[in-house]
Amino acid sequence: MTKEELKQYRSIRHEIQSIKDEINELENQIQSVRAVTISDMPKGGSHTDFTDVIAKIDELKRALHIKMSQALVVQERIEGVIDKLDNPIEQALLRYRYILGYTWEQVCVKMDYSWMQIHRLHSKSLINLKDDIE
């Protein structure tokens, strides 16, 4: 498994978050509409039709479901490969980076290693990952 393959999960998670944000934004638009008051006085103004917005929300929810299913498949595949590594430190590093999406700084702090040590260990982990698969 290559580094690019490991990064797939993270990119799918970003897509999922983007879709969730868009759904929330559209739902907030619908909820922010004020209740119409009824009076005898004629009023001008436009009638707001939210059927397009609701249809867009439904479309985004379907896309979200598909992306979440894809993410689960990719995550299970990556975890399966990571679990084949003999070294638990390498397993933890790859999980923090590629499954949990930690930044390099967060990985360093979490594992209590220096930047250089983490990158050396990461390089070694990728080599071991490739060797374990072949």
What's the pLDDT tens digit per position in 69-128?
A: 988 898 898 889 999 999 999 999 999 999 999 999 999 999 999 999 999 999 999 999
DSSP code for 50: -
Please report which residue ranges of 32-114 form alpha helices under DSSP H: 51-83, 88-94, 104-111
Buried/exposed 106-129: b ≥16 CB within 10 Å, e otherwise? ebbeebebeeeebeebbeebbebb
Domain holding 102, by residue range, is 3-41+49-133
Q: Is 32 helix (H, G, I), strand (E, B) or coil?
A: coil
Q: What is the pTM of this model?
A: 0.71
End-to-end CA distance of the chain: 9
Give the chain's domain count.
1
What's the pLDDT tens digit per position in 17-53?
A: 999 999 999 888 888 764 444 455 555 555 556 788 8
